[in-house]
Structure 1
Amino acid sequence: MTAAPFGKAAAGKALDRLIDLARSDTGQARRAANFLLAWWNGEDCGHFPIADLFGVDATIATHITTIIGFLGQHEGAIYPDAFGRKAEMIELVGRWRDFADEDG
């Protein structure tokens, strides 16, 4: 029996691969981080421009669409911390977004 293409296990593997990529320093890494951070908190971390898919290879696009497929099958919000990835997401915010205190 094979795993569902948009099941939680597949989404978790895709999430892990995107996090690993977003920890690197490439154009594809930036696009993966944009996607992950938009999912995490689009209001504060920025949204994911759909045109960013044009700048990633097919494997990375598949990881993104796997997560979107998983999210689309569920009512209500599911975030990366549902996969136990809160610490990794906080790390990516620190790496890719500059939220310096404007008062300090």
Structure 2
Amino acid sequence: MDEETKIALARLVALASEDTSGSRVAANFLLAWWNAAELGGFDPTEMWLLDELAVRDLLQVASFIGRNNVYPDALIGREAILGLIARWRGRVTAD
């Protein structure tokens, strides 16, 4: 992962840790990447709630996902994903 994409991913994770409508969008994107079938998909129209930088970050990361077979836990850690699940889905999962 190049430095620009690492920074974009870090900003999305930080945003998903906040409590705004944009935070929910970032979390939905990250959780759909982790396991869309179990945690819900991502509606692209949700990006309308993001500011310009967050949209660019999301698209940067989405482009990376399209070119690489890697799940987010390999990049941001399993604990970060489990924390997002607990925060945004109200449950803890081992999957």
The reply to whether TM is greater than 0.5 is: yes
Larger Rg: 1 or 2? 1
- Partners of 2:50 and 2:7 in 1: CA distance: 18
User: Greater helix percent: which structure?
Assistant: 2
Aligned to 2:36: 42
Look up the SS of the partner of 1:25 in the other structure: coil
Aligned residues, how many?
92
Aligned to 1:60: 54
Aligned to 2:74: 82
TM-score for both structures, normalised by structure 2: 0.87
- Partners of 1:26 and 1:64 in 2: CA distance: 16
- Partners of 2:45 and 2:66 in 1: CA distance: 20
Stretches of structure 2 lacking an aligned partner (at least 5 in a row): none
- Partners of 2:76 and 2:32 in 1: CA distance: 17
CA RMSD of aligned residues (A): 1.6
Stretches of structure 1 lacking an aligned partner (at least 5 in a row): 1-6
| Percent of aligned pairs with the same amino acid | 35
